[in-house]
Amino acid sequence: MAQQGTQQVINGTPVVQGMAYAPVMWVVRPSVPSAAGGPSLPEEERESEFAKYEEAAQQVSERLLKRSESTIGNASDVLKMSSQLATDRGIRKEIRKLVLKDGMHSVQAVVKATEKFVELFLKTGGLMAERVTDLRDVRDRVIAQLQGEPEPGIPVPETPSILFADDLAPADAAGLNPDVVIGLATELGGPTSHTAIIARQLGIPCIVAVRDLGRIPSGETVLLDGATGGITRNADPDEARRMVEEDRKWRETVAAWRGPAHTVDGHHVELLVNVQDGPSAQKAAYGEAEGIGLFRTELCFLDAQVEPTIAQQVDIYKPVFDAFQESKVVIRTLDAGSDKPIAYANMEEEENPALGVRGLRISGRNPELLQHQLDAIAEAAKDHVGKTWVMAPMVATLPEAAWFTEEVHKRGLTGGIMVEVPAVAVLAEKFLTVVDFVSIGTNDLTQYTMAADRLSSHLAEYTDPWQPGVLALIANTAAAGQKVGKPVGVCGEAAADPVLACVLVGMGVTSLSMAGSAVSTVGAQVSAVSLEQCRSAAEAVKAASDAKESRYLARQALGIVQ
Ligand code: PEP
Ligand code: MG
C-alpha cells in the first residue's frame, strides 16, 4: 500500500478516456505446468493421448466460437481468431509430433508447442508478436480442459471494480462487463493491443503499459484517469467522486453530440471516418462523420493469394463509395507489407519489413499492381457524387509523390500522399507543391520518428503521438499546408484522441479521420473549445519535454485540467 494519506500517481499510456474510482481486482493467471518431466508414454497409449488433445482443443475452439457469435464488433472478431488458433494446423502438427513420436503427455506437449510458436511469433514481430498473449491464453484453456478444470478467465467482480492485469487476451477482454469492470489497466499492451481495441468498443476507461502497476495490490481503492494515463493512490474520496461525476456528465454530452463539428467560435473541423470495407462504411454512414478519411484497401486482401482482377476490385470498392455517395471518400492504395503482408504483393521474406518494400514501394517491383488498382478505383468511383481523393502510403521521396499524383490525375481524380515517413514531414512544403493534399498517418510517423515498433507492448511510451518530436513534425506539416493553401488531414490514431485532436486543429490540420466509435467524443471536445484555445494548445506543447508534459500543457491551454 502507498503510505497512508500520501497521494501518489503512477502513469501509463492512456487509451480510453474516462474516470473510475473503485477497488482494484487483479487478474490471477493459472500457473503453467512444466514442459519437461514425466516418463515417456508407451507406444500403444500415444494415439489415444493425442486424441485427448484433439478433443480438448476442439471443445475450447467451439466454446470461443460460440462466444464470438453472441458478441458484437471487434470483440467478436478477436474471439473468432482465438477460436481458430485453438485448432491451428501448425500447432496441431507440432503437438502430434511431440505426442506420437516423442511420447510426451498432451499437457506437456501443449506447453512445449506453445513455447515454440511464441518464439516464432516474437521473431516475426509486428502483428504476429501481438498474438503471443492470445497463444498463451489458448494454451491455458486447452490445458484446463485436458485436466478437467474450469476454464481460466478473468474474475467477475460482484461490485464495480477496476481490473488490473499483466495483459488481457482477447477472450478475456471480450467478456468484460462494463457495469462491473468500470476501469482497466495493464502492465503491457500498446495503444493498438486487443485490450485497447475492446476497451474502446466497450467504453471502459483504460490505461496500458503501466510499468509500476504491480505495486498496487488487489483491494486498494484507486482513481483511474483514462485521459491522462494516471492512477492515483490515496486520492481524496470526495474529490475523486466529484471528478467521476463530472466525467459522467461529459459522457452524456458526448452521447448527445451531433455533427458537423465547429469550435465554439465557428471554425469548421471536418471529421471523417476510417473504414476497411463496404459493411464498415455502411455502418459508419449512420454516424456523425462527414465522409471517409481513410479506406484501408489492403485489409480487403489479407487472405488473397493472387491479385484480384480489376472487376473484382471494383465490386469491393464500389459499396464504400455508395455508402458515402454525396460525401468525400479518401481511398488509400494498397499498404501491403510490414504488419499487413499480402501474399500476392510482398516479397517472401525481409529482414526488417517495417523498413522494407511496403506501401507505394511495391510499385518499383511490380508496377502493374498499382496501375490495376487505380483503374479499379476510377471505375468504382465513376458515379460517386462526392469528392474522390486517392492517396499513397509510405511515400518517402518527392519524385514518388509527383509521379503518383500524376497517375491519379490521369484518371481524373484528386491525388495525395500519406505523411508517414519523417523525411516527408520535414520537407512538407515541397511535397505539398506536387500533390493535391496530404494526410498524416501518425501511427507510422510516430513509429519511424521514435524508431520504435508500433506494435511492441514494451515501447508504448515511445510510440506515443504526444512525443514532442512527433508533434513538431505534425506542426511543420500543418503549417506548410496553411502556407501553400492545401488540405492537411490526420488519419492515424492521434485523430481519435479528443485532446490531441484540438491540438491538431490549432496547428492548422483541416480534417481528422478516425474509427467510427471515436467521432462523437472528438466532435464533442472540439465543439467545446475555441479555435484560439486550440492554437494556444498547439503553441503550449512546443515547450514540452516529454509526452506526459505535452498532454498536461495542452489540457491546461484548453481549460480541461480537472
Ligand atoms: C498510420 O500509419 O497512421 C495510418 C493511418 O496507416 P496504418 O495505421 O494503416 O498504417
Ligand atoms: Mg501507416
Query: What is the full DSSP assignment across 85-153?
Result: HHT-HHHHHHHHIIIIIT---HHHHHHHHHHHHHHHHHHH-HHHHHTHHHHHHHHHHHHHHHTTPPPP-
Catalytic residue, candidates 206, 300, 491, 502:
491
72 exposed, middle or buried (CB, 10 Å; 0-12, 13-18, 19+)? exposed
Residues with CB under 5 A from ligand 2 (ion): 420, 441, 444
Q: Letter for the amino acid at 318?
A: K
Which stretches within 381-435 are classed as H helix?
Answer: 398-410, 422-426, 428-434
The predicted pLDDT at position 380 comes to: 98
491 is catalytic: yes
CB neighbours of residue 158 within 10 Å: 8
**Shortest-distance Cα residue to atom 1 of ligand 1:** 441
502 is catalytic: no
Cβ contact 449:422 at 8 Å: yes
d(CA 366, CA 199): 40
Cβ contact 540:561 at 8 Å: no
Q: Which residues contact 287 (CB under 8 A, 6 or more apart)?
A: 273, 516, 519, 520
d(CA 105, CA 109): 6
Name the pTM for this structure. 0.77
**Shortest-distance Cα residue to atom 10 of ligand 1:** 444
Residues of the chain with pLDDT under 70: 1-4, 37, 70-75, 125-130, 170-171, 174, 192-194, 561-562
- Name the closest ligand to CA 494: 1
Q: Letter for the amino acid at 102?
A: D
The predicted pLDDT at position 1 comes to: 47
The DSSP bridge pattern shows strands 161-165 and 181-186 to be parallel
What cell was used for 456? 511492441
235-242: long-range contacts, CB 8 A cutoff, minimum separation 24? 235/7, 235/21, 236/7, 237/21, 240/21, 241/21
d(CA 225, CA 246): 12
Domains located in the chain, CATH noted: 8-27+154-242 (3.50.30.10), 43-147 (1.10.274.10), 267-558 (3.20.20.60)
Helix (H) or strand (E) holding 223, with range, is strand 221-225
- Compute CA distances 144 → 28, 32, 117, 138, 150, whole Å: 15, 10, 19, 10, 6
Pocket of ligand 1 (CB under 6 A): 294, 296, 335, 420, 441-444, 491-492
The predicted pLDDT at position 76 comes to: 76
* Ligand 1: centre distance to CA 418 (Å): 9
Q: Which of 260, 274, 268 shows the shortest CA–CA distance to 418?
A: 274
* Ligand 1: centre distance to CA 461 (Å): 18
* Ligand 2: centre distance to CA 422 (Å): 12
Q: Letter for the amino acid at 69?
A: E
Atom of ligand 1 nearest to the CA of 274: 5
Q: Which of 302, 491, 513 gets mutated to test ligand 1 (max ligand atoms within 8 A of its CB)?
A: 491
* Ligand 2: centre distance to CA 328 (Å): 20
- Compute CA distances 145 → 110, 148, 150, 451, whole Å: 12, 5, 7, 42
Residue 189 Ramachandran class (φ > 0 left, ψ -120 to 50 alpha, else beta): left
